[in-house]
Amino acid sequence: MSTQAQILEVLDGIRPALRTDGGDVEFIDFNETDGVLQLRFLGACGECPISEVTLRQGIERRILTAVPGVREVRAF
């Protein structure tokens, strides 16, 4: 399974919780050279004042654990 497919699988597991609060997350890009994954928050998550906490403690932690090669997750 490709790295992008692994990332999308993890995001699919996270989406139900985000959607419960009216938000979502979109895969933008993954740079295999530096290991940086770029995501975009959508809906309520895009305007949420604690979206950085969601990113670091929820999304990034799960992706770093599940997907070798991802070193950092950034939201745009």
Domains (ranges, CATH) in the chain? 3-75 (3.30.300.130)
pLDDT grade for 14, boundaries at 50, 70 and 90: very high
Read off the DSSP letter of residue 24. Answer: E
How buried is 38 (Cβ within 10 angstroms: 0-12 exposed, 13-18 middle, 19+ buried)?
Answer: middle
CA distance 29 to 36: 8
CA distance 5 to 19: 21
What's residue 48's pLDDT? Answer: 85
User: CA dist 65 to 11, 23, 50, 62, Å?
Assistant: 13, 23, 22, 5
pLDDT grade for 19, boundaries at 50, 70 and 90: very high
